[in-house]
Chain A
């Protein structure tokens, strides 16, 4: 009874046994890939498809070709949202230099520095809804702190969230508060990894202040800058909660961005134009795609360089 069982012998030389090494990672990836396909890739194509239909989400769909895009072309509200999206993209990037300077400022050994760091990080921890509420009270035209302060310096009160000229900037300012904190944390971890020998060498060569920052520190912070850039751009493009809480898109739709406008036409109380919403989503997706491909390209280039 010492002979090896027949089925065990065949199993050993079987297909699975031979391909175990290459199959295991694929099998382990499978659940994640399936989820990604089902919840990300598939819906993207669904949105593309839906944007050619007129559908209220309940009844029959009617194929309308490019009609939804033609409507977009004539829709003033769409251009307002697009313009606001660009303003968001540009101004939101201010979070990166702001975060860097706070990080530089906090990167020292003083008693209680951990406490200061956590205080600066605090706005990122609280919910966007709370940030929105706090800022809408701050901006309140009748009782708000902002107008009290302006009044103290002799300026006329302004109604930030009720005036179409200021409203988008007002909301971006609120959004920058937590976003700056996020960039700060990224840079703080980056600063821990800065090589002291290089600083020493730079100092011997007479670098200090701005030059030291630009030529010695910043190049070493490139990974952190890269991540800060990516999260800030994406944060700007999907800005939604602050707008919803602070102005609900108003006054007369002047603070909408594409994501909010899409929600409004497709899913809000007065919406349910699914096809039109999908068309806006497609436009937003294409804008994101430009950024995503730029970053993928840059990442690939950097890795080859390294």
Chain B
């Protein structure tokens, strides 16, 4: 058994009477409750009582129990775990950005509104669309935004019998969940033998009840949809619109503008492609770019410039948007993430943007080629920024993909995404990103080859993995059956 590296809970570290932070002398606000009726006050406030150093050590120790980009290779497919330039953090923390209240008068936040406007223009330039909202909080909320825009469009035309949304069987689970949230039914479209969405089935399903298609391109197999122009045309011919899930935009940066492929709406995971650190799972930021005819429906308010009056030329937030779908989140979106994205794009410029896509795709294909003799690659063609392998050969020898993932941890490599997409048996989805060096990729290859060998020679080593982590494999069944969701 490895050395115990567990950290007590805050509640266990608490000592009655210990004080961490005081804002004023202890009696400074003793009279504060006097004019509040006692029936409106709480009886007791049970929170842990810790000193400041207790707090610092606790969280510093917890931080050491995490894998992160800054300390390990993190080839988590579909998540684009690339390096996030440190200067982004410095800029986002400038008082002129971090210290703004969302309801400050507009004349005191002209720089912030300009950040939003410039980012909007750059996202349109990169994606090829005419209009954009920065409001959605994350990719999934952006999907909701995009589908609400599409509904507003159909509704404005009086086209109300459209109720079904076509979604490939390889799609992210958020796509069908989003369509359902809009009250639509979903139709699953299979994947063909080449890893593309089945064009024939799309043509069969697309009719005057079709809201549209939700499509990820490159798709979740890491492949570019080879018949994309025919796919989007088929939907348009039926009167539907095409929603693009931009989760995989990183691969095609500079190589193609999604608008040119026939998408009508697309969301951009700013935190992936434009390098906001993923923060342990959030925050994200999900701008939605769209064709000009969807502009009236964008969430409100939008950043605009005053055309006339004594404040002409000033930027302001325009709430006068009668056809808007309304609001999806408080205020204007995740401004802190927008600042990072603008900083990153400014650093990259036109040439850097193109280089990101190219290097991401080069890295992924290199790994695919170096591993395809030992791990099955079901759709073995040039991939984009990621590829999906299958552990079915290893499974026949008694080692599952999950075991392989856990064994990688022993080599200080974060496991790839596993068991997604659902259509590939024992899926292992690898996305190295452009930020990794050839040395890192070669080491990953060497480790994956060693594991493939261990599958044959010492499978127990893999079954027991990981070996030297703070905890071993955890009992997830009991966690779900008898949930313990808070300290007692």
Asked if A and B bind, the verdict is no
A interface list, Cβ under 8 A from B: none
B interface list, Cβ under 8 A from A: none
